[in-house]
């Protein structure tokens, strides 16, 4: 009867031991949530639990790991550095009362306590991502463009966590993405929209794309933000205007040439050599500039 009871006790203890209830030789540290997200200026709870019994007393340390920099958060029973006064310890877990984007990091909870095999330690790592709403994006929209050319509109903001996605609007209406369903519709999409990079590509741009454009950055955290409206004017290549400007340039050049010719004939060059040279040089560069200007315009 006594031996039977002893056997039962032994069975019970080994069962509890295998479940981890009766271990004093190993320290187990774990977390209810190893990937914590919290909105900026709100609270965050970093859970850290362990199996060290109260009577033994666990030594608790928290560290923050940012890239290759490790700094103390909680040490010798107090919060240190910029965590002083804005965090509290709850058993071995911590509650940050007001997180900012600078708190995004990995946090390590380290527990040490005496065990049968000497000092034992255990640790768990928790990542904290502080969610930040988008800032107002900066948009690049050309004021004017020539139809038939390639035009890219850009939109970017860099505060949002997670990274913002982008939407473009023309004349107040959203520009739809080129989805499978849209491809069945009558009006074809004449642009390439990249919602990740924020670029809106017209290849080529047409007169129809003239309008008032703005872009919106959104990331599900807080309200979407938009940039100021900008107008893009797309015009056809105006052939008669180009011909007219070429004719004007040719006329200017011809009259310059005539002027120099008559000046030479009247003998200005021999009398006021240096001053005349200067002014004729000036004239040539002026008309050259004009010419280059027109050339680039044609191209």
Tell me the site size for ligand NAG, rule CB under 6 A: 7
Scored b (16 or more CB within 10 A) or e, 262-288 reads: eeeeeebeeeeeeebeeebeebeeeee
| Residue 88 beta carbon to ligand NAG: minimum distance, rounded to whole angstroms | 14
Cβ–Cβ < 8 Å for 226, 179: no
3 state SS for 257-289: HHHHHHHHHHCHHHHCHHHHHHHHHHHHHHHHH
Interacting residue with ligand NAG among 71, 197, 233, 279 (CB under 6 A): 197
**Range in contact with ligand NAG (rule: CB under 6 A) among 146-154, 193-201, 247-255, 285-293:** 193-201
The radius of gyration of the chain's CA atoms, rounded to the nearest angstrom, is: 37
- Start-to-end CA distance of the chain, whole Å, equals 107
18 forms part of the interface with ligand NAG (CB under 6 A): no
203 forms part of the interface with ligand NAG (CB under 6 A): no
Interacting residue with ligand NAG among 18, 208, 278, 279 (CB under 6 A): 208
Cβ–Cβ < 8 Å for 191, 175: yes
Binding mask 164-183 for ligand NAG (x = CB under 6 A): --------------------
**Range in contact with ligand NAG (rule: CB under 6 A) among 9-17, 116-124, 191-199, 270-278:** 191-199
- Residue list 89-128, contact with ligand NAG (CB under 6 A): 98, 100
Cβ–Cβ < 8 Å for 148, 237: yes
| Residue 25 beta carbon to ligand NAG: minimum distance, rounded to whole angstroms | 44
């Amino acid at each position: 009867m006594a031996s039977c009871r002893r056997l039962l006790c032994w069975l019970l203890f080994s069962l509890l031991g295998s479940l981890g209830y009766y271990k004093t030789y190993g320290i187990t540290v774990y977390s209810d949530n190893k990937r914590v997200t919290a909105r900026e200026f709100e609270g965050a709870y970093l859970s850290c639990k362990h199996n060290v019994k109260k009577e033994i007393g666990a030594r608790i340390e928290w560290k923050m790991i940012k890239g290759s920099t490790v700094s103390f958060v909680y040490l010798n029973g107090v919060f240190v550095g910029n965590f002083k006064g804005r965090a509290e310890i709850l058993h071995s877990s911590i509650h940050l009362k007001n997180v900012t984007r600078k708190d995004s990091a990995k946090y390590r909870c380290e527990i040490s306590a005496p065990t049968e095999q000497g000092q034992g330690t255990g640790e768990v790592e928790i990542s904290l991502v502080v969610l930040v709403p988008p800032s107002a994006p900066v948009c690049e929209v050309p004021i004017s463009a020539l139809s038939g050319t390639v035009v890219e509109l850009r939109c970017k903001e860099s505060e949002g966590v997670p990274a913002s996605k982008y939407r473009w609007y023309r004349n107040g209406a959203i520009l739809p993405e080129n989805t499978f369903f849209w491809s069945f519709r009558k009006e074809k999409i004449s642009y390439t929209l990249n919602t990740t990079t924020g670029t809106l590509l017209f290849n080529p741009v047409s007169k129809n794309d003239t309008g008032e454009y703005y872009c919106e950055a959104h990331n599900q955290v807080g309200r979407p933000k938009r940039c100021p409206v900008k107008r893009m004017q797309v015009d056809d290549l105006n052939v008669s205007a180009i011909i007219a400007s070429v004719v004007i340039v040719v006329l200017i050049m011809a009259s310059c040439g005539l002027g120099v010719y008559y000046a030479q004939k009247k003998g200005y060059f021999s009398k006021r050599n240096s001053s005349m040279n200067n002014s004729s040089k000036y004239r040539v560069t002026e008309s050259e500039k004009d010419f280059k200007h027109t050339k680039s315009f044609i191209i």
